[in-house]
Amino acid sequence: MDPHSTAWVTEVSDEAIRASWGDATFLRGRSYEASGHVLKYSTDRTGSIEAVVKGSGRKVYRTFLHHDHRGINSACSCPMRMGCKHAVAVLLAARESAMETVSPASSWENALAGLLPTTETEGRPVELGLEFRIDGPLEQPNGLVLRPLRLGKQGWIKSQAGWLDIVTNYRGVNYEPAQREVLLQMARLTGRHQYTYSTPASVSLSDLGPLGWSLLSQGVDAGIQLIAGQGFQDVEVGFEPVRIWLDVDLRDDGSRQLAMSGDLGPVPPGSRRFLIGEPAHGVGELGPGGRLRLRPLAGTVPDAIRGLFNRNLTVTIPAQDAGRFQLMYLPALVQRGLVPPGTWDPEDLPHPELTLGLTHEPGHRMLLEWGFRYVAGETTVDVAFHPRAGESFRDQEAEQILEEVALRLVGDHPNLREPHWQRLNPNATVIRADAARFVTETLPLLEGEGIIVTHHGETPEYSRATEAPVISVGAEDTGDNDWFNLHVRVTVAGRDVPFEQLFRALAAGDEAMLLDDGTWFPLDRPELDRLRQLLAEARELVDPGPGRQLRISAYQAGIWEELAELGVVEEQSRRWRERVQTLLNLGSDETRITVPDGLDAVLRPYQEQGLTWLAALWDADLGGVLADDMGLGKTLQSLALLERARELGQLDDAPVLVVAPASVVGTWAEEAARFAPGLRVAVIRATRARRGTELAEEIRGAHLVVTSYTLLRMEDEAYLEQKWRGLVLDEAQFVKNHRSRTYQVARRIGAPFTLAITGTPLENSLGDLWSMFSLAAPGLFPRLEGFTENYRKPVEKNGETDVLGRLRARIRPFMLRRTKREVVKELPEKVEQITRLELTPAHRRRYDQHLTRERTRVLGMLEDMDRNRVAIFRALTKLRQLALDPRLVDTDLPPIPSAKITALLGQIQELAEEGHRALVFSSFTGFLKLVRGTLEAEGIEYVYLDGRTRDRPARIARFREGGAPVFLISLKAGGFGLTLTEADYVFVLDPWWNPAAENQAVDRAHRIGQTRAVNVYRMVSADTIEEKVVALQQRKRDLFASVVDTGEFRSAAITATDIRGLLE
C-alpha cells in the first residue's frame, strides 16, 4: 500500500468514526479488524481503498472506501451496502498500517514543523456562528435555513464549518466546545449526524421542531453569533413563547368577523408574518429592509388556519350562517384554544341532549335507537349515538355523562348494553317481558332525567301483576312401570301461565315473563328459582317423553317431594302415590318387617333395618346400593331378603342372579347353605365348554344362581336369554367402568330388582357413583351427560356445596350405609399407625438415581396428561416398587438390605413368640415373594395367597386353624371376600392409591367376630413417593366422606399438580 496516497487515514480519529457510523457499528468493526476479518486490501493513486472482508460464516464481501474534500464515502457488497461494520474494519486496518509504515525520511518535516505558521488546531478555540438565510418562500417548510460559520481572520467564513465538519471534525479543527455541542444537537434533531459526504450545507429551521428554540437559546448563551445571511439585513430571535388566536367580532348586522391576532399585536405596515414548522412551532416576521424577527409558539396551531395567518386574512360569517358556525366550528376553535375566553358567550356553544326513539312492532317487539341532539341558539341537529367524521363540534365528555345516567337507569339487561363495554347499545331490540318492563318501569325514569323520548307505532298497554304466582303439580300413569308424566301448572292473578314458555324463560335466566294480555310478572322469586332448578334437573336427567312431555321416574321421589313443597299438589295417580310413599317411608320403624323363618341366623338390629330397607325396594320393584362398612354382614342381609322372597313364593318362576368376583363365588354358596338352607343354589364355576351343559339346564329349579363377572362377560348371551327375578352385584365396584363389556351385560340383564353390594361405592370421582346407580337404580340418573352437568362438574370443579347437598338428598333413599363405629359398639378397638422407615444408603442411592431420571421424563409428559396417562402411572408405579426394593425393577441387581423386610421380620418374630397372628399385605407380589424368602430363611411358618393361588380355601383354612402365624396376601387376592378375625395384627407394606381398598384389606381382621384389638402398621419409606401417596390417600378419603358419609367435599381426581408433587 502506498503510504502517501492513503495518508488521509491517519487523520481520521476514533471520535470521527463513532460520530459518522455510530457507537455500535464502530465497536463491531473494531472487533472484526482485531480478529483478522480484513483478508486483504489495496489502494490506488487517488487514495481509494478496495478490500476483501470475511463476514459471518463463510460469506466474503468486497468493501470500498474513497476520500475527497467532502469526506469519506463507503460501499460494500453486504446487505447494508454502505456505512457498515466491514467499512469500519477496513478503515481501522488501513489506518494502523499507514501509521506503522511512515517513511523515516519524513522525520525532517517533523523537525522543521515549528517554522511553519500554526494551524487552527492549536491555540485559541475557533468561534462559531449560525447564519439565517432564505432558501425559498418563507411560508414553505424549507424557506428559512441555517448553516454554521466560523470566525476567520477576515470575518465569518464557511470554510471548515459546514454541518459535516461540525459533526465529524475530521480535519481536527479546535472548535469552541460548548458551541460545537449545541450545533451537534441541532444536527441530531435533523438527522444530520450520520457521516456521509452527501450532507447538505444548510438545515431548515422548520426541521428543528419545538426543541430547536431551546437549542438556539443555549447557543446564544454559549456565544454563538446569529448572523443575517442572504435575504436579511438583521436577525432578532426572542425566546419567550407567543400565542396567536382568532378574534371573533359580533357586528351590528348579526354577522361575525374573524381576524388573526396574538401577543405580537397587529402586523406592522410593510411587514409580513409566517408560521414555521409543520405543525407550526414558531412564528416569523419579515419587516421592511430585511429585518427578521423570530419567536417560538405557545401551544399548537392547526394547519387549517396557516393560510389565514400567513396572508393576514379576515373572514366574515353572514348572519344567516351564525347558527351553523356556532354548532360546527366554534366548538373546534374553542377546544384548540384559538378563541380565547371573553371573546365568546358560553351560551353560544352547542350542548348535547340524549334522545331515545322507540319503534313498537307486532308481537311485543320494540326497537330502541339512542342518539344525541345538539342545540346552539335556535339551531338544532340530531346526530347518531357514535361520532362520525366531520362532527368535531360534539362534546364527548358531556355525552358520556348523559350516557352514564341512562346506563344506571336501564340496569344490566344485556341487549341494552354493548358486549364487553360499559356503553349503551345504540340500536337495541327488546321483546315481550323485557319490552313491557322497560315501558312500565324504566321509561318514566329516563323521561324524568330529561331524556327526549319519541314513539313510533302503536304503544301497547302494559301492566305489572302484583300477586305472587301459584304453583300446582300432578303426576299420571304412562303405562311404563317406572315412568310417570309430570304436570306443572303456574297461575298469576288467576291467569294460566303457559308452562313451556315459563320453563324456557326460567331456563334462560329471564327476569320477567309477559302474558298475552300485556300483564307481566317478575321471575326473580325464590319459589320460581327453585322450580327452575328442579325442572332443569329433571330434564337433564331424563329424555322428555313423546311430544316433549316432562316425565319423572319412580326413583326421583326426592324431586317430587321438593316440587310439592313449592305449591299445591293436584291430581296424582294411585300407583305414583304408593311408590313415592314407599320411598319416603324407607327405613322407618312403621315399616319394619319380620325376619323370615327360614333364616338360620340372628340378625342384629341394624341388620334387621337393612332387611326392611331391602324388602321395601324389592316390593316396589326398585333397586339400590347396600354400602355398609366392611364386615357388617352385607351378604347375610342380602340372603335374608332372598329367603323372604322364597317364602313368599316370589322365586318360583325366576331365580335371582348373584354376580361376584371369582374368589368369593364359593363364599356365597357356603353362606347360603349356612344361613338360608331353604334356598336352592346353583353355582356356575365354568363355561359351557367345560361344563358340557347349557346354562338353562344348570339353573333349572334354582332360587339363587351364583356366577363370576368373568363368566357373565364370556357367556353374556346365555345369561341375557334367561328370566331373572333379581340381580345382585357383589363387590360392585368391579363394574364401575361403564365402557366395559361386563358393565354393559349387567345393565342389559333387565331384572325388576337390582342390588349393588359394595363397601366402596365411590373411589376416585363422582363418576363411580353414577356407574353404581345406573345399574342399581337406572331411573335416578338415567343420562351420564345430565349427571355430569348437574352434579359432577358443579361439585368437583367448582366445589358447590348446595349441589353436593342436593346430590346426597337424591341418593339417600337408594343407598344404605352404616359404619362399624355406628352400629357395632362391642367391636374391639382398631389402632392404626404409620411406621416411617429410612432407606439404607445403598437403597437410597438407587432410588434417587431412578427418581432423577423418571422425574425429567414424567414432567415432560404432563403437558398432555390425558394422552400420556398410562406412561405416567407406569413410571410412578416403578418408583413405588423402587421404594420397596430395587430388585423389583431390576432383577439382576445384587441383594440390597430392605429396611421394611428387616423391620417386619423383627416384629413377626416377637409377635409369634407371644402367640399373636398377623396379616401382611402388599400390592406387589414380587415383594411378597421376597418377604416369603426371608421368612423361610428364618424358619417362620407362613401362608401365602395371591391372585394365582389355586387352593385358596385350603390356605385360608390352614391360617384360620392355626397352621401358621403369618398370612402373606396380595391386594387383589385378599381385599374382599375374606374373614380372618383370627389375626390381630395387620401390616400394610406399601400405601395403595386407593385407600378404600386398603381399608377393605385391613378389615379382613377388624370385623364382626373379632374379640381382640387390631393393630395396624402402615410401613412408609421416608422421603420417597410413598409419603406423597399417603397424602393423596387422605384426599380420596375426603371424597368418600363428603358424598357417602356427609362430610365436606374435596375432589379426589389426581391432577398434573399432584403428580409434580409426587416427584418433588
Residue-level pLDDT at 1062 = 54
For residue 830, pLDDT beyond 90: no
Residue-level pLDDT at 1040 = 58
22-53 pLDDT, tens digit each: 888 888 888 888 888 888 888 877 778 889 99
DSSP single-letter state for residue 3: T
Residue-level pLDDT at 862 = 66
Q: Where are the alpha helices (DSSP H) in 620-661?
A: 634-647
Confirm whether pTM is higher than 0.75.
Answer: no
Say how far apart CA 228 and CA 732 lie, in whole Å.
106
Chain centroid to Cα 963, Å, comes to 61
189-241 pLDDT, tens digit each: 876 545 444 456 788 998 899 999 999 999 999 999 999 988 899 999 999 99
Lowest-confidence range among 301-310, 435-444, 555-564, 733-742?
Answer: 555-564
What value does the mean pLDDT take over residues 620-648? 91
Q: Looking at per-residue confidence, does 79 or 1051 come out higher? A: 79
Which one of 83-97, 331-345, 802-816, 1026-1040 scores highest in mean pLDDT? Answer: 83-97
Lowest-confidence range among 92-106, 121-135, 631-645?
Answer: 92-106
For residue 595, pLDDT beyond 90: yes
pLDDT confidence band for 372 (50 / 70 / 90):
very high
Residue-level pLDDT at 113 = 41
All cell numbers assigned to 740: 366395559
Q: Are strands 918-922 and 985-988 parallel, antiparallel or unpaired?
A: parallel
For residue 314, pLDDT beyond 70: yes
For residue 689, pLDDT beyond 80: yes
Residue-level pLDDT at 1047 = 43
pLDDT confidence band for 541 (50 / 70 / 90):
very low
For residue 1048, pLDDT beyond 70: no
Phi, psi (5° rounding) for residue 51?
Answer: -140, 160
734-762 pLDDT, tens digit each: 888 888 899 899 989 989 999 999 887 87
Given a contact cutoff of 8 angstroms between Cβ atoms, the answer to whether 626 and 777 are in contact is no
Say how far apart CA 298 and CA 1004 lie, in whole Å.
95
For residue 114, pLDDT beyond 50: no
Residue-level pLDDT at 120 = 44
316-341 pLDDT, tens digit each: 878 777 777 777 777 777 777 677 76
Say how far apart CA 754 and CA 716 lie, in whole Å.
17
327 vs 314, 374, 379, 1059, CA distance in Å? Answer: 20, 8, 8, 69
The four Cα atoms 406, 412, 415, 419 give a dihedral, to 10 degrees, of 100
pLDDT confidence band for 1051 (50 / 70 / 90):
very low
pLDDT confidence band for 98 (50 / 70 / 90):
confident
What value does the mean pLDDT take over residues 83-91? 91
For residue 929, pLDDT beyond 90: yes
pLDDT confidence band for 848 (50 / 70 / 90):
confident
Residue-level pLDDT at 582 = 65
Which one of 279-283, 590-594, 870-874, 978-982 scores highest in mean pLDDT? Answer: 279-283
Say how far apart CA 400 and CA 519 lie, in whole Å.
35
Chain mean pLDDT for the chain: 81
For residue 540, pLDDT beyond 70: no
Residue-level pLDDT at 106 = 46
pLDDT confidence band for 436 (50 / 70 / 90):
very high
543-592 pLDDT, tens digit each: 444 445 566 665 665 666 666 666 545 444 455 455 556 665 665 555 67
Task: List b or e across 33-69, with b for residues whose CB sees 16 or more CB atoms inside 10 angstroms.
Answer: beeebbeebebeeebbbbbbbbbeeeeebebbbbbee
Beta carbons within 8 Å of 314's beta carbon, 6+ residues apart: 257, 258, 259
pLDDT confidence band for 874 (50 / 70 / 90):
confident
